[in-house]
Chain A
Amino acid sequence: MKVSVLGIACLRVFWELLAFECKKFNECNVYPREKMRSALVFEFNDADFPRKSYETKQYKKGLKAADAILKKFPEHGETLSMKGLTLNCMDRKSEAYELVRLGVKNDIKSHVCWHVYGLLYRSDREYREAIKCYRNALRIDPDNIEILRDLSLLQAQMRDLTGFVETRQQLLTLKPNHRMNWIGFAVSHHLNSNGSKAVEILEAYEGTLEDDYPPDNERCEHGEMLLYKTFWCSFVYDIILQISLLEECGSFERALAEMHKKESKIVDKLAYKEQEVSLLVKIGRLEEAAELYRALLSMNPDNYSYYEGLQKCLGLYRDNGNYSSGEIDELDALYKSLAQQYTWSSAVKRIPLDFLQGEKFREAAFNYVRPLLTKGVPSLFSDLSPLYDQPGKADILEQLILELEHSIGTTGKYPGREEKEPPSTLLWTLFFLAQHYDRRGQYDVALSKIDEAIEHTPTVIDLYSVKSRILKHAGDLAAAAALADEARCMDLADRYVNSECVKRMLQADQVSLAEKTAALFTKDGDQHNNLHDMQCMWYELASGESYFRQGDLGRALKKFLAVEKHYADITEDQFDFHSYCLRKMTLRAYVEMLKFQDRLHSHAYFHKAAAGAIRCYIKLFDSPPRSTTEEDDDKADLPPSQKKKLKQKQRKAEARAKKEAEGKNEESSASGVSKSGKRHVKPVDPDPHGEKLLQVEDPLSEATKYLKLLQKNSPDSLETHLLSFEVNIRKQKILLALQAVKHLLRLNAEDPESHRCLIRFFHKVDLMTAPATDTEKLIWSVLEAERPAISQLQEKSLIEANKFFLHKHEDSLMHRAAAAEMLFVLETNKKSEALKLIEDSTNNLAPTNGALGSVREWKLRDCIAVHKLLETVLAEQDAALRWKARCAEYFPYSTYFEGKRSGMYNTAYKQMLTNPENGSASQAGVSADAIASNGKLEAFKNLAIST
């Protein structure tokens, strides 16, 4: 390297910068607490982001130095790279990449250039590219610890586990006296599902330590008590990790022995006992385990898993909850004795309700419910609602609570009791009953009960929330939103009721109102984006779904993709922990976190968002937005060559615009730096309404991106494969569509949607022209081989298969509707027959022996789907109207069917809102302010004294 003295001096600045950069990447961002601490320190020193301005100053210094060198040696690769990295830190991305690439080109043998290139990619989260760069750097300088460590982090992030093990091994070989390298090597093996190897490593490491650890002061040189303690605690974590490793590779006995040996050194006594008991169970030493569970219960008698464990040890546990009568007696006796020991436990009283039956259940429920109604526990119904899945228990509960209601209503006491109940008991009893009838679909009764409760005590917020929920279930979404708003107004400081109200508003498609309401609880300023920054996913999903219902695909996509982005961010977030957790030794939590991240995209919110986005893209494909089609129409008369040119021109113009925009961004951020020292000025969203999202060229390939994530992470969801079918059938990907059909049949062949896909698929196949190309022939041969394997189609034509399906599920509305639709698809001339199939369906009474009213089987959601089928697919307006009239009878509260009781609550409430002062203002002759009259005093006997 021919660098002058001046150059070397400048380079030193660069090395410092590089070190600073590496440090920043490795440490500054690792953990919120660290961040917070450093932020605090800085805040104390100076309020105006001194760290940033310090950095900026350094960067400017660095740039100056770089330019000085480059003046003399314009080709100097490492300087070019460093200048690029510096620019990257100043948000001048495109220049940065240019320079760094040039640097690598000029000095391809320099590990620094490659390392910098890797850092650049890493800062842009392009980990695959970054790994490549690091590998190149290591080829030149194989023992560079900095680079190796960086590489190992990336490998952990990308789950390149074999690579991770290799890198960790290399690091250990290079620096065997670092504890972190031993632990890192063990963890890498653990992640690579080589538990026994991990244990060996940990044991080998332990062997190198003195017996009376926490060991010598070698690594506690700082002598700080705190560090010492962390070290010691972390050592204990090593042990626990080791034990859980042993457990994972099946040597339970050894794990247990190991644990007992180290008992004195494990600080987390509860984790110790829980680990011990699970080991005892696995080895089969059940008596000891039972004893230990009892000990744990005396520590926390409300932990359901301890009870479950104890039952398992006693051989009294069934996953499905179906116990023999002998077992029930034993369990009953067990819990009675436990209840005497743990008088304050509520779990011990609640669990027996799960297994007791008949009269015993009734008695236990009676005893369980009474004090809670007296006390006023609003969550009582959700506590008991799992019991509604067990046949008969809901009926018993209904009778029981009605009896209580009657007794309190007439005597003010529980049946057979002497003490008078407080007045609120009746309120909570009514509250429970309302939820009970809501659950059973008897919305009329539910509403009358909740109204009675509101009449009794109009100030309890939960009553309005429940009423809102009942109305939602009954199909009056606008009224539900109004009620939720009423609940919200009663406590403006309660975020939960506010959120619930927002959700109801979104369900009623009142998006702008919902936005305003939600913004009441966001920080001032950028209110709407604030919800996005807080990763408020339920909100984004609900508003995306509302936009989708309203046909605003752009905004819908925007919301769904926002949720998808949150998940990408969560995946990103783990990066910081790879180095942090190894350093801080929070190993168990680390490994758990990695496992959680591995199944992150199977989370329900992600599933919903991806499914929503795919639906948008499908709709976009089926009916593209007008503007593009119009444009295409305009261009239609142009010859193809000119069309191509036009397109190229457009593309170029777009690219130019993009570059300009970027330049502007850089400018503005650069000036932002100099003025305020803040570098991250929030960019303005260039596409707030998602209009650009609608301009995708190939919506189906966009959909496929998200579909792949669903297929990988939710392979057991029917919806995944339904969407896969819809996308692939549109893309003419016959075999992929077939695969989707097969998955559907595997998951639930009797589902109406599975049936639809099956028939539609083979109907389409039957209509295809004879194969011409080789690929087509191949597809045909696959189809021919696969078709006989599908049992639904064996020796049956599609028409017959459809009939067979219909006969099998004659009593189900949705199955009949599916069969009718398919009949129409297969034989278009049989529309009237299809209509008859749907209209002849009968809505039977659901089997119930409830004391009040009766319920029919059909669900509102299903009836709406059938209405849409009649209206759009079969396109029979008369039939649709007939259906609507019929359903309006079944669902009187439904606004969709315009039932006679729909909209009632809404108007009543609005009237109250718009006309809140009827009376006082118009009462002339008295003082200007409000005068209450006691005209109806007889109604409130004792004490309602107004003046």
Chain B
Amino acid sequence: MGAGREVAISLDGVRDKNLMQLKKLNIALFPVRYNDKYYSDALASGEFTKLAYYSDICVGAIACRLEKKEGGAICVYIMTLGVLAPYRGLGIGTKLLNHVLDLCAKQNISEVYLHVQTNNEDAINFYKKFGFDITDTIKNYYTNITPPDCYVLTKFITQPQPKN
């Protein structure tokens, strides 16, 4: 089974039938329980929320919310992105994030943003690799963890000129 080393990673959408998979991931990944609004936003975002499968095992997810900015333009807010600890370092997070960024490019969405705790250097470095920049700092964003502050990381996607 030497060939077994290369394991296929695939993405699948979130539906009401498999929503529990996303919940299980979040329980394992984040110290916070998400409320129903999180899940309905995730379901409503359609293709912007994806589960990642390592062969047949669901090991990670990206969950986004589509927001309307003033002026009617749509931007994407990444609510969560996470991969189960044993499956990190295999490019699964990259694949998930790239999926969303590609989708933004296709749908002419020019802004993607998210919040990150200020001491979370790994995360900040990860997002910087994809062209995100710190655009803002919010004091006392979190209530029961320290530091309570977060950065806003934003990536502006320059749209390829439609009619070149």
Contacts and interface: CB of A to CB of B under 8 A. Distances in A.
A928 B37 contact: yes
A933 B57 contact: no
Select the residue from A458, A930, A931, A936 with max chain B CB neighbours within 10 A.
A930
B17 A492 contact: yes
A947 B84 contact: no
Contacts of A371: 1, 4
Given A376-B55, A489-B20, A933-B145, A919 B117 contact: no
B12 to A, nearest CB: 12
A458 B86 contact: no
Interface in A903-947: 916-921, 923-926, 928-937, 939-947
A492 B31 CA distance: 26
B122 A921 contact: no
B132 to A, nearest CB: 11
B82 A945 contact: yes
B14 to A, nearest CB: 12
Contacts of B37: 928-930
Given A459-B58, A947-B78, A375 B85 contact: no
Interface residues of A, number: 51
Interface stretch (A418-426, A527-535, A801-809): A418-426
A491 B22 CA distance: 11
B123 A931 contact: no
B116 interface: yes
B32 A931 contact: yes
Nearest to B142: A933
B35 A942 contact: no
Given A376-B55, A457-B57, A943 B116 contact: no
A493 interface: yes
Select the residue from A376, A460, A492, A931 with max chain B CB neighbours within 10 A.
A931
A534 B92 CA distance: 44
B161 interface: no
Interface of A is mostly: loop
Contact of B57 (A459, A931, A935): A459
Given A923-B143, A947-B116, A937 B123 contact: yes
B11 interface: no
Contacts of A925: 140-141, 143
A500 to B, nearest CB: 16
A456 interface: yes
A638 B81 CA distance: 83
Contacts of B86: 423-424, 426-427, 456-457
B17 A934 contact: no
Contacts of B32: 919-920, 923, 930-933, 946
A490 interface: yes
Contacts of A934: 30, 116-117, 120, 123, 145
Nearest to B83: A943
Given A920-B35, A921-B35, A945 B120 contact: yes
A923 B142 contact: yes
Select the residue from B41, B80, B122, B146 with max chain A CB neighbours within 10 A.
B122
Given A423-B87, A490-B20, A947-B80, A941 B25 contact: no
Interface of B is mostly: mixed
Given A460-B57, A944-B83, A946-B81, A937 B122 contact: yes
B139 to A, nearest CB: 10
Nearest to A488: B20
A457 B4 contact: no
A642 to B, nearest CB: 66
A945 B33 contact: no
Interface in A115-164: none
B73 interface: no
A571 interface: no
B82 A946 contact: yes
Contacts, number: 195
Nearest to A935: B145
A939 to B, nearest CB: 8
A941 B122 contact: yes
Contacts of B33: 916-920, 930
A926 B65 CA distance: 16
B144 A491 contact: no
Given A929-B35, A945-B120, A458 B28 contact: yes
B135 interface: no
Nearest to A945: B123
Interface string B131-154: 000000000111111100010010
Contacts of A921: 35
A929 B41 contact: yes
A492 B18 contact: yes
B21 A459 contact: yes
Contacts of A457: 57, 59, 84, 86-87
Contacts of B21: 459, 490-491
A366 B145 CA distance: 48
A311 interface: no
A532 to B, nearest CB: 27
B126 A945 contact: yes
A934 B20 CA distance: 22
B114 interface: yes
Contacts of A946: 29-30, 32, 79-82
A374 B1 contact: yes
A374 B6 CA distance: 11
Nearest to B114: A947
B105 interface: no
A491 B18 contact: yes
A459 B83 CA distance: 12
Given A456-B86, A931-B142, A947-B114, A917 B34 contact: yes
B116 A945 contact: yes
A935 B114 CA distance: 16
Select the residue from B27, B30, B56, B126 with max chain A CB neighbours within 10 A.
B30
A921 B33 CA distance: 8
Nearest to A915: B33
Given A424-B55, A459-B59, A947-B79, A923 B144 contact: yes
Contacts of B58: 459-460
Contacts of B141: 925-926, 931
B149 to A, nearest CB: 12
A937 B82 CA distance: 11
Given A374-B4, A946-B82, A424 B54 contact: yes
A697 B14 CA distance: 58
Interface in A868-920: 916-920
Interface string A456-490: 11111000000000000000000000000000011
Given A926-B142, A934-B145, A945 B127 contact: yes
A64 B48 CA distance: 70
A432 to B, nearest CB: 16
A942 B81 CA distance: 12
Nearest to A422: B7
B89 interface: yes
Interface string A411-449: 000000001101110110000000000000000000000
Contact of A933 (B5, B82, B144): B144
B143 to A, nearest CB: 5
Contacts of B150: 947
9 contacts: A423-B87, A457-B86, A916-B33, A919-B32, A926-B141, A926-B143, A933-B144, A940-B29, A941-B122
- A-B pairs with lowest CB-CB distance, top 5: A935-B145, A371-B1, A947-B114, A930-B34, A423-B86
Given A424-B86, A919-B144, A935-B142, 16 more contacts: A375-B4, A422-B7, A457-B59, A491-B21, A917-B34, A920-B34, A924-B143, A926-B142, A928-B37, A929-B79, A930-B35, A930-B79, A932-B34, A935-B31, A937-B122, A947-B77
